[in-house]
């Protein structure tokens, strides 16, 4: 770590022979520790102070409630759907589908936090629709931490996922390029395995829809489907409107449910911050949490400098641009898809992330925290540049 003090301690494990450990992780289901000639998994552990983890967990509990409350305020209001960048092809689906019980709009979600070396915690975004990193968090991280004698709070992830899917009971799990895309295929296979249910994995590209009835390539009717398929894609994909129609007519239930896209939109964070500034909706305890953990976020570029712009549906770093203290463009993501060409942009104050030193140089540490069945339960570490994108690495996070 840089500086004389950090709430993280880096335990370097690279002196150990890598190949047998990669092979063991492969057997456990983490098959992309190495991608071609690149090391995706950094053989190290970033160990967080227990007091910091406890605060992070409590912050997630509070923010989960706050964002859930905001979705219920937004629901049914088309002017706010528009502000959040929700494609209008989804509006009827959102209006006609019943809202889940509090805390269960998404049963499979992940917060992304900036945790500084000094332990300052700030929310960057909530991935409430189709988060990845489940295998890294639920399988790889506990194994890596156990080997090193470090505590992992991730050991409950499998049981919480199973409890969620016992409620939802999908008959199908889908992703694009199933069988060839290692990460997404491995993710849905792990979810199915941990659910304990009889669920068939399919490729989204093999699905077809007949008068609102969704079928796979073998003409099997699908009624309840978990899909690593971002719902905003329904606005641009051929057949997306037919998929929305299937949900509207009750022929298909999607998991996460339709309203997870309201939680997913970064515009919701801007809405929460705006209501905080206006003194609306939130009680004093919630306002204190918003002030402490949410960064000032707006739908317009009101900052003079030191801010980030990103699409409300940017994923994997796509569309992120960093501006320096003078308001000049400092860095932009050039690898991920730029969602700002199709969806609105939000502007957010920049936050400091902890730094770790590696032979390849200084890396920024992004702290993810899964929320499964409404409970914060699993740390996910990623290390890379100031923008955490497709080229970042997985690093296990443990707790001292």
For every one of its 400 residues, what pLDDT tens digit does the chain have, with 9 covering 90 and above?
A: 544 689 999 999 989 999 999 999 999 999 999 988 889 999 999 999 999 999 999 999 999 999 999 999 999 999 999 999 999 999 999 999 999 999 999 999 999 999 999 999 999 999 999 999 999 999 999 999 999 999 999 999 999 999 999 999 999 999 999 999 999 999 999 999 999 999 999 999 999 999 999 999 999 999 999 999 999 999 999 999 999 999 999 999 999 999 999 999 999 999 999 999 999 999 999 999 999 999 999 999 999 999 999 999 987 666 899 999 999 999 998 776 666 778 999 999 999 999 999 887 899 999 999 999 999 999 999 999 999 887 899 999 999 9
Residue 86: other Cβ atoms inside 10 A: 27
Q: Does residue 364 contact residue 385 with C-beta atoms inside 8 Å? A: yes
Angstrom distance (rounded) from CA 161 to CA 204: 22
Give the bridge partners for 174, in sequence order. Answer: 202, 227
CA R_g for the chain? 20
pLDDT score, position 333:
80
pLDDT score, position 3:
47
Angstrom distance (rounded) from CA 371 to CA 33: 24
DSSP character at residue 139: I
Q: What digits encode the pLDDT tens for the residues 151-187?
A: 999 999 999 999 999 999 999 999 999 999 999 999 9
Angstrom distance (rounded) from CA 326 to CA 301: 14
Angle CA 364–124–153, to nearest 5: 75
DSSP character at residue 49: P
Contacts of 149 (CB under 8 A, 6+ apart): none
Angstrom distance (rounded) from CA 162 to CA 238: 33
pLDDT score, position 337:
66
pLDDT score, position 116:
98
What does the domain layout of the chain look like in residue ranges?
66-102+125-264
Residue tagged 């332990």 (tokens): 119
Q: At what angle do helices 284-293 and 50-74 cross, to 10 degrees?
A: 120
């Amino acid at each position: 770590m840089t500086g004389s003090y950090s709430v993280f301690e880096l335990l370097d494990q690279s002196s150990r022979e890598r190949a047998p450990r990669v092979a063991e992780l492969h057997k456990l289901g983490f098959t992309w520790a190495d991608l071609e000639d690149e090391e995706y998994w950094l053989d190290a552990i970033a160990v967080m102070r227990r007091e910091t983890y406890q605060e992070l967990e409590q912050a997630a509990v509070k923010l989960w409630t706050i964002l859930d409350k905001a979705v219920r305020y937004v629901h049914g209001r088309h002017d706010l759907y528009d502000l959040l960048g929700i494609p209008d092809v989804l509006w009827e689906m959102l209006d006609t589908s019943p809202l889940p019980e509090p805390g269960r709009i998404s049963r499979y979600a992940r917060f992304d936090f900036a945790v500084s070396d000094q332990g300052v915690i700030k929310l960057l975004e909530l991935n409430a629709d189709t988060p990845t990193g489940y295998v890294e968090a639920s399988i790889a991280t506990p194994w890596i931490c156990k080997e090193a004698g470090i505590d992992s709070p991730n050991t409950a992830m499998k049981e919480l996922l199973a409890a969620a899917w016992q409620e939802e009971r999908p008959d199908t799990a889908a992703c694009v390029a199933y069988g060839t895309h290692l990460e997404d295929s491995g993710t849905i296979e792990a979810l199915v395995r941990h659910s304990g249910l009889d669920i068939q994995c399919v490729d989204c590209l093999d699905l077809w829809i007949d008068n609102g009835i969704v079928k796979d390539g073998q003409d099997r009717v699908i009624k309840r489907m978990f899909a690593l398929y971002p719902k905003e894609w329904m606005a641009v994909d051929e057949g997306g409107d037919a998929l929305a129609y299937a949900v509207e007519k009750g022929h298909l239930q999607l998991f996460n449910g339709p309203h997870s896209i309201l939680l997913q939109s970064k515009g919701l964070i801007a809405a929460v911050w705006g209501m905080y500034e206006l003194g609306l909706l939130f009680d004093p305890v919630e306002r204190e949490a918003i002030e402490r953990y949410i960064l000032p976020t707006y739908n317009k570029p009101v900052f003079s400098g030191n801010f980030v712009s990103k699409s409300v549906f940017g994923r994997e770093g796509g569309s992120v641009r960093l501006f320096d203290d003078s308001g000049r463009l400092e860095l932009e993501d050039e690898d991920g898809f730029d969602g700002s060409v199709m969806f609105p942009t939000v502007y957010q104050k920049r936050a400091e992330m902890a730094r770790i030193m590696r032979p390849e140089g200084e890396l920024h540490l992004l702290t993810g925290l899964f929320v499964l069945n409404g409970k914060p339960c699993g740390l996910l570490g990623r290390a890379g540049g100031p923008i955490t994108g497709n080229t970042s690495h997985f690093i296990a996070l443990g707790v001292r």
